Chain A
């Protein structure tokens, strides 16, 4: 359509072009409609979509490794695991300082738990090493204090590190930022410390360790740096620096003490950090552990998703998990199969009931309706437990069968804690979701159609199959979608009556969320389940057409 005529644009009453005026009116209408639904929209967004998105995001999130061990993962980047040799000294050095501040902030055990999902034994390795980190620095301090008592004093250290002349503010800022990443909290305030550039160049490791200490003391503990005794890691840094640094020409504050210490350091046995870690736990020389750290040092990982489909991410690429640990694919298949079985048994049982409901006189239909709805109003747990009482070997059904002589007392039927029990109990629980849409669709089918078919010579069966049934298909479609999607994510009933062969993937998700606390894997399993449901919905739409689904 063109917005101009031969006489120029068509104008509305107020003189604006008609098209613009119309568009504005439509927009206003849309906005009003949107505002009406906005409470619901915001509610759904905040309480439903955002948490789900957040949870699903955990299935790929993996910042923890690089945030807890930033320097280590960086230095480790060049190491090649295939040589079969553990990494060299610089990696262990980086690990020591990374781990030290992580242990102070109580973050190292979290990382241990995270890596333990990928390599068994890392959890206790991190926990026990975290406890022993202080010892090395303590030993050095004892030796240094023999030379000069002041090495254990906060004020002495503060003077030494602050020095004179220009200071390096950026270094402190960088360490503060790293601490923020580590703890995940916003830290603000003044550290009240900056190392002199001279000292930072002369004793780089000491300065870095001291900066970690200063930032943590000032920003997390809220103490004054100069009044606190430095961490043990600072002594380790000093001893490492003194192995190479030439302090003879230094002339800043406490230069004399530093020079005496440097002399004394010749006589103190220096333990390389690789040796220290190896003595703490020989697993630190294990190539596989380092390869795991390296593999999982990226910010995002496909590891959880791979685990969720019985694969694993190894340093050599993607591999199948050992056969005796494969479980998830089988569980997904079982969940699909059992949900289908439940859906079909709901159709088989629900269809006649819905037909009766739709065709009985109103008074009887109402009574029947109450019978359908009654279990619906009963607690899910009560219904599930009732099935337990019914189906167990000393239960009602077995007792009756034995009493009738149909079953031998010694060979009572096993009907619970298996797939059968789950299918029976869930069919019962989900049946109303099939009957109700079927009923409302059937109510809309005029009975005269059947009569017309019969009067034209159709048999009862033909009349039903050719005339009535096709009209009730939209109800079956709606009921099936409801039942299937509810069944696929069911948790409590399979947990109670499923035993080992009747449990669903959702039981494993629940286990990972609340017991093993591997939320990443739980999220990956949940994401896959969600994707499968959406895929099936899409396939259903393609094959049957979602327009053909009627809830009434």
Chain B
């Protein structure tokens, strides 16, 4: 440990001396449209203002926790800033792999004068998590496959209604979200879902409800699957992230509609890996302060339909950079869309994930 540290510090010094204080930041993200929205909204303006900084992307967010754990064991952290979903941020924080921070010290205050802590509010779900966006998981459907004489679905429970809306569905190959929807559509009140789901009977009830459509379900594991299946007409409706549906509907102009009913809110944001050397840490902190300020977060929504995590950014949300579409109505947080929503329950799933996943996988395999 000590030796590698000294060696690392030594080579870092040599690099710095050679490159005249050039700073290379390695940012980790999800690739695709989301990463390019970050590139355009934060990185390009930042690099323009700080010509000494260069940014390298690593598209590893999906395996970030496993990779950070491995890096930590090897004693060599090669990432500077990592984009993860909130649940992963909590796990990284739990394992001491992410740095805890003080919002008011690290982050810029809001444009409206509110402190960073108030501006982000409850979205700071872990001491290590720096929120960026609110996204949701919800359903899209083929408008041309809605049976004649039937209204297009507006209710999440149409997923379970094979009589009115025949056809295949796609659901994510994991219990999270699916179990909640199943209970909700089986008549469980929204604020009791997690109490019910904590009991073995409740878990059986949810699986029994999912059983009614099991034969018609294609299970997805990659975010691109449902949009692809919708575009191919393989399914009638399926769950995916709201930004993916925006791109299918608005950018690609496919015959697809979407539901906002019972959308499940989730958060995505940055964590700073624990144990960075002082110099990288200072560079990263400077970048994060810039990348999470009110303007930058609002700018990101020009490129992708995810809601900025700051309250003060919401009024600044404008139109899509290329299409000129007004973005506010496509935000999951838009009051019109957020009439009936569910918030991902981090605490619950941190506890029950392994247990329910074992039951879910065993049920799937039968």
How many angstroms from the CA of A392 to the CA of B168 in the assembled complex? 12
Contact of A393 with B by CB under 8 A? yes
Contact of B91 with A by CB under 8 A? yes
Q: Contact check, A501 vs B365: say whether CB atoms are below 8 A apart.
A: yes
Indicate whether A516 sits within 8 Å of B365 (C-beta atoms), given known contacts A113-B91, A392-B232.
no
Indicate whether A186 sits within 8 Å of B364 (C-beta atoms), given known contacts A116-B354, A120-B355, A417-B218.
no
Nearest CB of chain A from residue B245's CB, rounded to whole Å:
19
What's the dominant secondary structure at chain B's contact region? Answer: helix
Indicate whether A327 sits within 8 Å of B63 (C-beta atoms), given known contacts A394-B234, A417-B218, A517-B91.
no
Contact of B233 with A by CB under 8 A? yes
Residue from A106, A107, A331, A393 in contact with B365 in the complex, judged by beta carbons closer than 8 Å: A331
Q: Contact check, A500 vs B219: say whether CB atoms are below 8 A apart.
A: yes
Contact of B66 with A by CB under 8 A? yes
Indicate whether A516 sits within 8 Å of B353 (C-beta atoms), given known contacts A109-B95, A186-B2.
yes
Contact of A324 with B by CB under 8 A? yes
Q: Can you list the 10 inter-chain pairs with the closest CB atoms, starting with the nearest?
A: A109-B94, A106-B96, A120-B355, A325-B358, A327-B362, A514-B66, A500-B364, A514-B63, A124-B351, A394-B233
Contact of B124 with A by CB under 8 A? no
Residues of B with C-beta under 8 A to A392: 232, 234
Indicate whether A110 sits within 8 Å of B95 (C-beta atoms), given known contacts A325-B362, A327-B361.
yes
Residues of A with C-beta under 8 A to B1: 185-186
Residues of A with C-beta under 8 A to B355: 120
Residues of B with C-beta under 8 A to A127: 94, 350
B168-184 residues with Cβ-Cβ distance < 8 A to A are 168, 173
Contact of A302 with B by CB under 8 A? no
B→A interface (CB under 8 Å): 1-2, 62-63, 65-66, 69, 91, 93-96, 168, 173, 204, 218-219, 221, 232-234, 347, 350-355, 357-359, 361-365
Nearest CB of chain A from residue B203's CB, rounded to whole Å:
9
Q: Contact check, B351 vs A500: say whether CB atoms are below 8 A apart.
A: no
How many angstroms from the CA of A366 to the CA of B1 in the assembled complex? 55
Residues of B with C-beta under 8 A to A228: none
Q: Contact check, A117 vs B95: say whether CB atoms are below 8 A apart.
A: no
Residues of A with C-beta under 8 A to B93: 109
Q: How many residues of A contact B (CB 8 A)?
A: 38
How many angstroms from the CA of A121 to the CA of B204 in the assembled complex? 18
Of B94, B168, B232, B234, the most chain A CB neighbours within 10 A belong to B94
Q: Contact check, A110 vs B96: say whether CB atoms are below 8 A apart.
A: yes
Contact of A112 with B by CB under 8 A? yes
A→B interface (CB under 8 Å): 106-107, 109-110, 112-113, 116-117, 120-124, 127, 185-186, 321, 324-327, 330-331, 392-394, 417, 495, 499-501, 508, 513-518
Indicate whether A393 sits within 8 Å of B95 (C-beta atoms), given known contacts A120-B354, A513-B66.
no
A-B contact pairs, 16 of them (CB 8 A): A110-B94, A113-B94, A116-B354, A120-B352, A120-B355, A121-B352, A123-B94, A127-B350, A325-B358, A325-B362, A326-B362, A499-B219, A500-B173, A500-B364, A513-B66, A516-B357
How many angstroms from the CA of A168 to the CA of B362 in the assembled complex? 57
Indicate whether A516 sits within 8 Å of B234 (C-beta atoms), given known contacts A113-B94, A327-B361.
no
Q: Which residue of B lies closest to A120 (CB)?
A: B355
Nearest CB of chain B from residue A308's CB, rounded to whole Å:
12
Of B63, B350, B357, the most chain A CB neighbours within 10 A belong to B350
Nearest CB of chain B from residue A242's CB, rounded to whole Å:
34
Q: Contact check, B218 vs A499: say whether CB atoms are below 8 A apart.
A: yes
Residues of A with C-beta under 8 A to B351: 116, 120-124
Nearest CB of chain B from residue A64's CB, rounded to whole Å:
12
Q: Which residue of A lies closest to B174 (CB)?
A: A515
Q: Which residue of A lies closest to B222 (CB)?
A: A496
How many angstroms from the CA of A459 to the CA of B362 in the assembled complex? 54
Of A324, A330, A516, the most chain B CB neighbours within 10 A belong to A324
How many angstroms from the CA of A326 to the CA of B69 in the assembled complex? 28
How many angstroms from the CA of A541 to the CA of B365 in the assembled complex? 34
How many angstroms from the CA of A324 to the CA of B206 in the assembled complex? 14
Nearest CB of chain A from residue B343's CB, rounded to whole Å:
17
How many angstroms from the CA of A454 to the CA of B361 in the assembled complex? 58
Residues of A with C-beta under 8 A to B363: 324
Nearest CB of chain A from residue B334's CB, rounded to whole Å:
31
How many angstroms from the CA of A307 to the CA of B205 in the assembled complex? 25
Q: Which residue of A lies closest to B90 (CB)?
A: A127
How many angstroms from the CA of A321 to the CA of B361 in the assembled complex? 14
Nearest CB of chain B from residue A497's CB, rounded to whole Å:
11
Q: Contact check, B362 vs A517: say whether CB atoms are below 8 A apart.
A: no
Q: Which residue of B lies closest to A117 (CB)?
A: B354
Supply 19 further A-B pairs (C-beta < 8 A) apart from A327-B361, A499-B218, A517-B66: A109-B93, A109-B94, A110-B96, A116-B354, A120-B355, A123-B94, A123-B351, A124-B347, A124-B351, A186-B1, A324-B204, A324-B359, A325-B359, A326-B362, A394-B234, A500-B219, A500-B365, A513-B66, A518-B354
How many angstroms from the CA of A185 to the CA of B5 in the assembled complex? 13
Nearest CB of chain A from residue B360's CB, rounded to whole Å:
10
Residues of B with C-beta under 8 A to A518: 354
Q: Contact check, A327 vs B358: say whether CB atoms are below 8 A apart.
A: yes
Residues of B with C-beta under 8 A to A514: 62-63, 65-66
How many angstroms from the CA of A321 to the CA of B362 in the assembled complex? 12
Residues of B with C-beta under 8 A to A516: 353-354, 357
Nearest CB of chain A from residue B62's CB, rounded to whole Å:
8
Q: Which residue of B lies closest to A393 (CB)?
A: B234
How many angstroms from the CA of A295 to the CA of B116 in the assembled complex? 46
Nearest CB of chain B from residue A129's CB, rounded to whole Å:
13
Nearest CB of chain B from residue A206's CB, rounded to whole Å:
28
How many angstroms from the CA of A513 to the CA of B233 in the assembled complex? 34
How many angstroms from the CA of A102 to the CA of B204 in the assembled complex? 37
Residues of B with C-beta under 8 A to A113: 91, 94-95
Residues of B with C-beta under 8 A to A327: 358, 361-362, 365
Of A186, A517, A518, the most chain B CB neighbours within 10 A belong to A517
Nearest CB of chain A from residue B50's CB, rounded to whole Å:
32
Q: Which residue of A lies closest to B63 (CB)?
A: A514
Q: Which residue of A lies closest to B362 (CB)?
A: A327
Nearest CB of chain B from residue A525's CB, rounded to whole Å:
13
Residues of B with C-beta under 8 A to A122: 351
How many angstroms from the CA of A106 to the CA of B63 in the assembled complex? 22
Nearest CB of chain B from residue A280's CB, rounded to whole Å:
15
How many angstroms from the CA of A330 to the CA of B361 in the assembled complex? 11
How many angstroms from the CA of A517 to the CA of B91 in the assembled complex? 10
Nearest CB of chain A from residue B15's CB, rounded to whole Å:
26
How many angstroms from the CA of A72 to the CA of B162 in the assembled complex? 55
Residues of A with C-beta under 8 A to B350: 116, 123-124, 127
How many angstroms from the CA of A325 to the CA of B168 in the assembled complex? 27
Residues of B with C-beta under 8 A to A124: 347, 350-351
Nearest CB of chain A from residue B351's CB, rounded to whole Å:
5
How many angstroms from the CA of A145 to the CA of B354 in the assembled complex? 46
Q: Which residue of B lies closest to A388 (CB)?
A: B228
Nearest CB of chain A from residue B88's CB, rounded to whole Å:
10
How many angstroms from the CA of A324 to the CA of B358 in the assembled complex? 8
Q: Which residue of A lies closest to B353 (CB)?
A: A516
Q: Which residue of B lies closest to A499 (CB)?
A: B219
Nearest CB of chain B from residue A53's CB, rounded to whole Å:
15
How many angstroms from the CA of A548 to the CA of B177 in the assembled complex? 54
How many angstroms from the CA of A120 to the CA of B254 in the assembled complex? 44
Residues of A with C-beta under 8 A to B173: 500
Nearest CB of chain B from residue A2's CB, rounded to whole Å:
56
Residues of B with C-beta under 8 A to A121: 351-352
